[in-house]
Amino acid sequence: MGYSFPEEALEHVLWFLSSDKDRNSVSLVCKSWYEIERWCRRRVFVGNCYAVTPEIVIRRFPEVRALEMKGKPHFADFNLVPEGWGAYVYPWISAMSVAYPWLEEIKLKRMVVTDESLELISKSFKNFRVLVLSSCEGFTTDGLASIAANCSNLRELDLRDSEVEDLSGHWLSHFPDNCTSLVSLNMSCSGSEVSFSALERLVARCPNLRTLRLNRAVPLEKLPNLLRRAPQLEELGTGAYSAEIRSDIYSNLAEAFSFCKQLKGLSGFWDVVPAYLPAMYSVCSGLTSLNLSYATLQCPDLTKLVSQCHSLQRLWVLDYIEDSGLEALSASCKDLQELRVFPSDPFGAEPNVFLTEQGLVSVSEGCPKLQSVLYFCRQMSNAALITIAKNRPNMIRFRLCIIEPQVPDYLTLEPLDTGFGAIVKSCKELRRLSMSGLLTDRVFDYIGTHAKKLEMLSIAFAGDSDLGLHHVLSGCDSLRKLEIRDCPFGDKALLANAAKLETMRSLWMSSCSVSYGACKLLGQKMPRLNVEVIDERGPPDSRPDSCPVEKLYVYRTVGGRRIDMPGYVWTMDEDSTLEFS
């Protein structure tokens, strides 16, 4: 007696499901639900481009409109992944150009995108709207010119933190005169000077433009021209924020800012001349996001500025803000959710600013909504961490970088185990943690015991033995990404927890003591993992099996071993011969 739920009704219901997790659950109910769901999934997120192949994605989801994908491991940001490692997007674009003619969005992070890929995108997808390239590389301004010229409905072009080879600034002029659809343009990472009049005309004819992030080459004197043509802007990234001190430039700028009543976010501020700061004061009270992390302003100017931003939710700033500036921040910005403090002199041997653990403690005390922290400093104490943990049990992301590796609690000279232990014990919703300073195996015991919601963990120069790694792999139930460098973790913990690796997206270990033999064993016995050894010293076979590998990257995959590896990457798999001497 089958009364079955009509397909159309189910499809209508599924329309409201945007979360991948929910859609994945739906597809597990029964075969017909699996079928209905796969035909109406429009957005696909691939967290690791090598975890699956384009063919598999296309076969399962034939009607995709938006793809979001990530490539290289996170530590590639810090030069730990050698050139040519992989993460090429071209095979995906090529396959999708045939399978998804109606594709609208592509968002990529840490991938290699060539001009060829960009040109193929621009010519293959008639309704293409959104291109976000975050920390990508491999393309030039010629590729951007193709996108500008051919994507007639483009809404977003965002190149945040990508490396673009600047052949010419003329790429911007390739936007046709009838292109009026831009909502977001982020060209802050490009170096070349674009034609200002072309930029001006583009901004003027796009009435829906909400986000505009300029590059350093756009001079401050010209900024008012753009602001006047786009008073509806919500997010602005300035170019260089410096000019000769002239009152006409100043008043022009101040007036232009005063017209922008919708501004919520500001960034840019390269080469800041403090005299021009008050020109933007009129927008401060409405700002929710402020990125001053490229602004070499000193403490007094910074303090004065942030103290006026009473609605601030996110602040990125250099450590010139010092403890006193952070104290002012904690008094003025009660809605603050995210704070990132970057080092102004990370390679200097001695502190150049008065920024200590106290600044972070103040903010944790004064800002009840603070949930996301990235903090670079030169000293820390267990007492401070315990206080922060007690103040902010709502912390979700906590990344602390004490600049000198393996530095102990500066008050007691003990390891910082208890401090970080307090963090994981108190902050029950903690999803991301990066640690630094002197840390023993004990901290990993605390993490394994308490950090049950932890999804991403970054470890450097920490731990004493395999026990540390074992605690993490066996205890952290929600762990998806684990990245480790320069820790004495070896074969035992890795092999004892091999199955755990299939429940995670990836594991990175560099400058640890995992032997080649263990890598081979792992690869041989775990066919659903790709175990990749990165070693620039030449083939690992030329060294004894007990020799530690330079770098190891392990990730789960249904796509099999990849075929685009450079000469210094070896995949350990079933074909690896096992030799025991």
Which residues ranging from 4 to 63 are in contact with another protein (CB under 8 A)?
Answer: none
Query: How many Å apart are CA 63 and CA 86, to the nearest integer?
Result: 27
CB distance 471 to 448 below 8 Å: yes
Structure tokens at 362: 């103040």
Query: How many Å apart are CA 384 and CA 540, to the nearest integer?
Result: 45
Q: Does 191 bind another protein (CB under 8 A)?
A: yes
Stretch that binds another protein, among 13-21, 60-68, 97-105, 290-298 (CB under 8 A): 290-298
Query: How many Å apart are CA 60 and CA 320, to the nearest integer?
Result: 51
What residues between 292 and 321 interact with another protein by CB under 8 A? 293-294, 296, 298-300
Query: How many Å apart are CA 523 and CA 531, to the nearest integer?
Result: 5
CA angle in degrees (0–180, nearest 5) for 244-247-253: 85
Query: Site mask, another protein, residues 332-361, x = CB under 8 A?
Result: ----------xxxxxxx-xxxxx-------
Nearer to another protein, 24 or 296 (CB): 296
The distance of closest approach from Cβ of residue 194 to another protein in the complex, given in angstroms and rounded to an integer, is 10
Query: How many Å apart are CA 356 and CA 363, to the nearest integer?
Result: 12
Nearest C-alpha neighbor of 223 from the set 184, 254, 246, 261: 254
Nearer to another protein, 293 or 478 (CB): 293
Nearer to another protein, 80 or 148 (CB): 80
The distance of closest approach from Cβ of residue 331 to another protein in the complex, given in angstroms and rounded to an integer, is 17
The distance of closest approach from Cβ of residue 395 to another protein in the complex, given in angstroms and rounded to an integer, is 20
Stretch that binds another protein, among 40-48, 60-68, 424-432, 463-471 (CB under 8 A): 463-471
What residues between 365 and 394 interact with another protein by CB under 8 A? 376
Nearest C-alpha neighbor of 210 from the set 236, 234, 186, 229: 234
Nearer to another protein, 210 or 520 (CB): 520
What residues between 465 and 504 interact with another protein by CB under 8 A? 465-467, 470, 474-475, 485-486, 488, 490-492, 495-500, 503
CA 320 to mean position of chain CA atoms: 24
The distance of closest approach from Cβ of residue 434 to another protein in the complex, given in angstroms and rounded to an integer, is 8
What residues between 394 and 433 interact with another protein by CB under 8 A? 401, 403, 405
Structure tokens at 292: 């001053």
The distance of closest approach from Cβ of residue 362 to another protein in the complex, given in angstroms and rounded to an integer, is 16
The distance of closest approach from Cβ of residue 102 to another protein in the complex, given in angstroms and rounded to an integer, is 34
Of 117, 135, 381, 576, the residue at the interface with another protein (CB under 8 A) is: 135
Number of other CB atoms surrounding residue 494 within 10 Å: 27
CB distance 561 to 532 below 8 Å: no
Nearer to another protein, 54 or 490 (CB): 490
Site size for another protein (CB under 8 A): 84
Q: Does 577 bind another protein (CB under 8 A)?
A: no
Per the document, the length of the chain is: 581
Q: Does 164 bind another protein (CB under 8 A)?
A: yes
Query: What is the number of H-type helices and E-type strands within the chain?
Result: 20, 23
**For residue 446, what are the contacts with CB-CB under 8 A and spacing of at least 6?**
417, 420, 421, 424, 425
What residues between 87 and 126 interact with another protein by CB under 8 A? none
Nearer to another protein, 99 or 547 (CB): 547
Stretch that binds another protein, among 63-71, 75-83, 230-238, 329-337 (CB under 8 A): 75-83
The distance of closest approach from Cβ of residue 54 to another protein in the complex, given in angstroms and rounded to an integer, is 28
CB distance 297 to 272 below 8 Å: yes
Question: What kind and span of H or E run contains 534?
Answer: strand 529-534
**Which amino acid belongs to residue 354?**
F
Query: Site mask, another protein, residues 547-576, x = CB under 8 A?
Result: -x----------------------------
Nearest C-alpha neighbor of 144 from the set 176, 174, 101: 174
DSSP structural state of residue 298: -
Nearest C-alpha neighbor of 306 from the set 48, 288, 471: 288
What residues between 215 and 274 interact with another protein by CB under 8 A? 215-217, 219, 240, 271
Of 409, 445, 455, 535, the residue at the interface with another protein (CB under 8 A) is: 445
- Sequence-distant contacts of 534-540: CB under 8 A, at least 24 apart: 534/81, 534/82, 534/85, 534/510, 534/568, 534/569, 535/568, 535/570, 536/82, 536/568, 539/570, 540/516, 540/570
Nearer to another protein, 96 or 136 (CB): 136
Question: What kind and span of H or E run contains 106?
Answer: strand 105-109
Nearer to another protein, 283 or 400 (CB): 400
Query: How many Å apart are CA 311 and CA 334, to the nearest integer?
Result: 8
Nearer to another protein, 40 or 217 (CB): 217
Stretch that binds another protein, among 74-82, 120-128, 196-204, 363-371 (CB under 8 A): 74-82
Query: How many Å apart are CA 134 and CA 161, to the nearest integer?
Result: 6
